[in-house]
Amino acid sequence: MSGVQTSQGVRKIVIDPVTRVEGHGKVTIRLNEAGEVEEARFHIVEFRGFERFIRGRLFWEVPLIIQRLCGICPVSHHLAAARAMDAVVGVDKVTPTADKIRRLMHYGQVLQSHALHIFHLASPDLLFGFDAPPEQRHIIAVLNRFPEIGKWAIFIRKYGQEVIKATGGRKIHPTNAVPGGVNQNLSVENRDVLRKEIDQILAWCGAALERHKGYVAANQALCRDFANFKSNFVSLVGPAGGMDLYEGKLRAIDPAGQMIFDDVDPTAYRDHFIEEVRSWTYLKFPHIRSLSREDGWYRVGPLAQINCCSSIDTPIAEAARREFVAENHGSPVHATLAYHWARLICLIHCGEKIKELLFDDDLQGTDLILQGERRPEGIACIEAPRGTLFHHYTVDEHDQVTSANLIVSTTSNNEAMNRAVKQVAMNDLSGREITEGLLNHIEVAIRAFDPCLSCATHALGQMPLIVTLEDADGSLIASRVKQ
Amino acid sequence: MSEDKFTFTVDGIEIEAEAGQSIIQACDAAGVYIPRLCYHPDLEPAGHCRVCTCKIDGRRSSACTMPAAHGMVVESDTAELNGDRRILIEMLFAEGNHFCPSCEKSGDCELQALGYRLGMVAVTLPYLWPERELDATHPDIFIDRNRCILCSRCIRASRTEDGKTVFGFEGRGIHLRLNIDAKHLDETTLAAADKGVHVCPVGCIVIKRTGYRTPYGNRQFDQAPIGSEIEARRARPKRGVESK
C-alpha cells in the first residue's frame, strides 16, 4: 500500500512504513504555526521483549535464543551472548582455535550483512537517484540495469553466508559458540572451498569501493551536505587503537576527533553510558554519561569504526581508510552518506581478515572449550555490522538468567537518525504536501545508518515507513505509507 | 524354526517372533520400524502415547503392549495410521511449549524427529500456551516442563531401574503433569547417573551445561530419520526373514 493522506487546516505528516530497512518504523514531522519543520521523529513501533522473556532461561541457552532477534545479524547476537557467557563460566580467554573460529564467523557475518545493505538496500538509491520512480529503486532493477553489481550483491553475500555455514552449520541462525568456546573447528574440506573463492571476493569488494568512490567524486555536494551534522562517535578498538570488529576496548571521540574516553573495558559500560526512555518510541536513547543528554549522543557503525580507529591491520582496507580520512584532512567525517564509503572499507577489511584466517592452522585445532569458576555476571561487547553491540546478563546459582540488558547498534544511532530525518525534512519539505521525493530522501537518510529496527526493539511481522505530518497542536495533516 | 517361535505379518512382511514378545519388540528385532514415543526398549511398556497404534487383525491397539501372536495380520505403515500419528504429534506440540529453534535437544529430540518423519510441516491445531515451570535447582539436572509430553519414561525408569520414586503423575486429563517427590528437584534423590534422567525423549529432563556441544549435521537425527537404526537391521539378511 502506498498513498498520501492530506487535509487542509492541520499540520502533521506521517511516513509509515519506512522501506528497505530491517524492521518496522514510521516518521512524523510536526510543523509550527509558520509552516516550518519544528520537529521530526523516527518512531520504532515494534515491541519484542527479549530482555524480559530471556529471564529464567538457562544461561547456555541464551546464545541460541537471543540470536533470534534478527535474521540479518544473528551471528553478532550469538557471539556477543556467548562471550558474555564465557565470563559467566569463568573463562576470560578462550582457546586460540575457539577465538579464531568465532572471529571467522563474525567476519563472514559482517561481510554478508554489509553486502546486503550496500547492494540490496542502498544501491538502488545511489544508482538510480533518490528521486527515481519507486518501481525502479530495488535490487531486481539493479540486476537488470547493472548486472555486474548484481553479481557482486549475490556472490559477496553468499560467500559471507558460506563462511557462517562452514563454522556454524547453517547460513542463518547457526550454532557454534557455546559458553567457554566453540563446538567445532573448521574442517579442511570447508577451508579449502572457502580458500578457492576468497581472492575473487576481495577483487569484487575492491571494485565495489572504486565504483562508489566514482559516485562520490561525481556527486560531491550531495555526499558532503546530505543529512550532514556533527556528532560524537563510539566504537571498539583493538590494541594501539587499531580496528577490531570482534573485541577490544571502547573509544569515544567528540566531533573534532578528541577523545571523550578511551581504553574503557566494555564491562564498565554502565559507567560511561546511560539509556533514556521516551514515550513515543520503543527505542531507547543512550548517551555518554559524562556529557549532557543534548551533547552526549553519538553515532556507531562503519562511519564510527573508521573515525575512531587509528589504523587497520589489513593492507587494502588500511589504504582505503587513509584515502577516506584524507578527504576530510584527518578530521572525523560527519556526512551521513559517508556511512556507505566506510561500510565498503569495512567490507574489504572483513574479506582480508577471512583470507588471513583461512591460512591459519589454528582453525583446525581440537582444543575447543574451557571451563573456569562460575561467576554471577557476564558483559560482552562486539562491533556488529551496524555498530557497537552490548550484551549484559546476570545468572543465579541455579544457572538461570535473572536479568538481561542489550544495547544494540540501532539504539545508539537513534538520536542521529532523528536528527537526519529532521534535517532532510527542513531541506526538502515544501508546503504541506508529502511528495514522493521527500519520502525518498527521508528513507535514504535513515537507510544510511542501516538500521535494524527488529534488533533495536529486541519484532515480528512485516516491516513497512510511515511518515506523518502534524500541526503544531499535534493534529494530522498528511500521512503516507510505503510497504 | 524352534517350537517357541512363530511368525506374523506387518504390512505384508513376515516377522519372526518369540513367545512373550510384543509386536513392537518383534518388529524392532526384525528391522521393521513402528513409530513410537513412550516406548523404550529397556522399560516396561505403558501404552501412553498411542503413537505406535496399529491395526491388528482389523482392530486398533498399541504395538508396545500387544503381545505378538502366530498368524496376526498387522497394519502399521498406512496413510490412515500415519495420519493419525501425525495428529497425535501435532497435539503434543500444541499442548506444550516446544521452541525447537533454541532447544538444546533439537536434532536429538524424538518428538521433533517423528514430526519430520511423519511429514508434519506445521502445527494446524491451536496452541494452548500453558504456563509451565522450569526447575533448575538441582546442581546437575534441570526439568523444563514446557517440553514434557507425559510419556512416563522417567517415572518407569526411576522406579524399575533406579529403585527410586522421584517422578510421578499428578492431576487428570488435560491437567496431568509430571511431578517429583519433593518441592524442588534438589530435594529429591535424583542423580545425574540415574536411568530416569537419560530416557527422556524430549528436552524436558536434561543434564545441565551439556547443551549445543554437538554441531549441526552431527546430531542424532541430522544424519538419518528416526527409526533408521531399526530399519538398518533389515539390510542384514536374516534367516527366515524376507528382505525388503
Q: What is the distance between the alpha carbons of residues A254 and A59, in angstroms, rounded to a whole number?
A: 37
pTM (2 d.p.): 0.90
More confident residue, A27 or B167: B167
Q: Which of A38-42, A75-79, A234-238, B96-100 has the lowest mean pLDDT?
A: A38-42
CATH architecture of the region B5-77? Roll (3.10)
Would you kindly state where each structural domain of chain B is located, as residue ranges?
5-77, 83-215
3-state secondary structure chain A: CEEEEECCCCCEEEEEEECCCECCEEEEEEECCCCCEEEEEEEECCCCCHHHHCCCCEHHHHHHHHHHHCCCCHHHHHHHHHHHHHHHCCCCCCCHHHHHHHHHHHHHHHHHHHHHHHHHHHHHHHHHCCCCCHHHCCHHHHHHHCHHHHHHHHHHHHHHHHHHHHHHCCCCCCCCEECCEECCCCCHHHHHHHHHHHHHHHHHHHHHHHHHHHHHHHCHHHHHHCCECCCEEEEEECHHHEECCCCCEEEEECCCCCEEEEEECHHHHHHHEEEECCCCCCCCEEEECCCCCCCCCEECCHHHHHHHCCECCCHHHHHHHHHHHHHCCCCCCCECCHHHHHHHHHHHHHHHHHHHHHCCHHHHCCCCECCCCCCCEEEEEEEECCEEEEEEEEECCCCEEEEEEEECHHHHCHHHHHHHHHHHHHHHCCCCCCCHHHHHHHHHHHHHCCCEHHHHCCCCCCCCEEEEEECCCCCEEEEEEEC
Q: Which residues of A389-420 are buried (b: 16+ CB within 10 A; e: fewer)?
A: bbbbbbbeebbbbeebebbbbbbbbbbbbbbb
A97 and chain B in contact, CB less than 8 A: no
Is the pLDDT score of A22 beyond 80? no
For B41, how many CA atoms within 13 A lie in the half-sphere containing its CB? 9
Q: What is the distance between the alpha carbons of residues A207 and A155, in angstroms, rounded to a whole number?
A: 13
CA of B85 vs chain A CAs: smallest distance (Å): 30
Q: Which of B79, B85, B53 is nearest to B66 (CA)?
A: B53
CA of B41 vs chain A CAs: smallest distance (Å): 30
A60 and chain B in contact, CB less than 8 A: yes
Task: Give the best-scoring range by mean pLDDT among A49-63, A120-134, A257-271, A427-441.
Answer: A257-271
Q: What is the pLDDT of residues A265-276, one digit of tens each?
A: 999 999 999 988
Give the one of B134, B142, B213 whose C-beta lies nearest to A183's C-beta: B213
Q: What is the pLDDT of residues A63-111, one digit of tens each?
A: 999 998 877 889 999 999 999 999 999 999 999 999 999 999 999 999 9
Q: What is the distance between the alpha carbons of residues A75 and A83, in angstroms, rounded to a whole number?
A: 12
pLDDT of residue A137: 79
pLDDT of residue A462: 43
Domains and CATH numbers, chain A: 4-48+413-482 (no CATH), 92-228+335-370 (1.10.645.10), 230-327 (no CATH)
B5-77 and B83-215 share one CATH topology?
no
Q: Average pLDDT of chain B?
A: 94
Q: Does domain B83-215 have CATH number 3.30.70.20?
A: yes
Q: What is the distance between the alpha carbons of residues A262 and A260, in angstroms, rounded to a whole number?
A: 7
Q: Which of A456-465, B31-40, B92-101 has the lowest mean pLDDT?
A: A456-465
Angle between helices A338-358 and A96-115 (to 10 degrees): 140
Give the one of A64, A183, A399 whose C-beta lies nearest to B102's C-beta: A64
Radius of gyration of chain B (CA): 19
CA of B198 vs chain A CAs: smallest distance (Å): 19
Contact flag B134-A56 (C-beta cutoff 8 Å): yes
Among B100, B106, B141, B216, most A C-beta atoms within 10 A, so best to mutate, is: B216
**Beta-carbon neighbour count of residue A466 at 10 Å?**
21
